[in-house]
Structure 1
């Protein structure tokens, strides 16, 4: 992002909030809701993409499907010499939705999901068995209070 673009205009913040809510909204609806022309919205979207503010568009799962998923965060302690290999192996796991580097006793937090407790348990075991993983600590997510 360019240094002069660090502070987004209020209208850009509103546009981003609308896209977070539904990234498939037609530009005509975005323009009408923002009180802008379609050309202005297209230009803003293009600039936000070009500046790296928007890197892509995604899918938000339906609440019925989402409620059926069992999620966990897995804190992972990694052998330093094998950190890159371990991260690549973790990236190949389809059930992993996010991987964060953290400070403290553990090195990584993986967010994973499965449809059953047995599948989640097997997935946690699979992560623990990866080369370079020294130990893991897992917490099952019981409810999502806020998701932005």
Structure 2
């Protein structure tokens, strides 16, 4: 999905500064814990607080760091069923479909892809009945959706999307 994200900084046309090893260590540390203080971050990457502060500001300005968010446990939110829903949509309708899925709180992440399907959604629901309702009554009701394919997630490892990245919701 190539439209400019309103949350993302607008490019000034200038090339961002290349990342060095210290920048990458700062980014890695903030990916692991976005709440690190400048002091803790400086201690972790072994540079001064002033240097960390300046680098974080530059990384934010250059659009490398887009924001900070909480990682949540969907089970503790009462969302114990997760699935990947593949959508096949009518040609040239992805913007319209994106607007519609942004209004669905159960959609935590959406990706425009190539191949047999056009969009892959990460959805989280309270139970199988809620998943069935989401797919059969809400997603398939979008006029441009031609087909769906749902894959139930049995377990998640690694960095899953930290929370809702589409529209608003839990």
Report the TM-score, using the length of structure 2 for normalisation: 0.78
Residues 62 and 137 of structure 1, relative CA distance in 2, 3 Å threshold: closer
Q: Which residue of 1 aligns with 2:38?
A: 27
Residues 1:136 and 2:148 aligned together: yes
Equivalent residue for 1:71, pick from 78, 82, 87: 82
User: Counting helix residues as a fraction of each chain, which structure ranks higher?
Assistant: 1
**Paired residue secondary structure (2:34):** coil
Trace 1:90-101 onto structure 2 (pairs within 5 A). 90-101=101-112
Q: Give me the CA root mean square deviation.
A: 2.1
Alpha-carbon distance in structure 2 between the residues aligned to 1:61 and 1:11: 28
Moved over 4 A (4+): none
Which consecutive unaligned segments of at least 5 residues does structure 2 have? Answer: 1-10, 161-170
Aligned positions, number? 147
**Paired residue secondary structure (1:103):** coil
CA offsets 1:19-48 (integer angstroms, 9 cap, x no match) = 111101111111111111111111011000
Which consecutive unaligned segments of at least 5 residues does structure 1 have? Answer: none
Alpha-carbon distance in structure 1 between the residues aligned to 2:78 and 2:20: 36
Report the TM-score, using the length of structure 1 for normalisation: 0.89
Which deviates the most, 114-123 or 48-57? Answer: 114-123
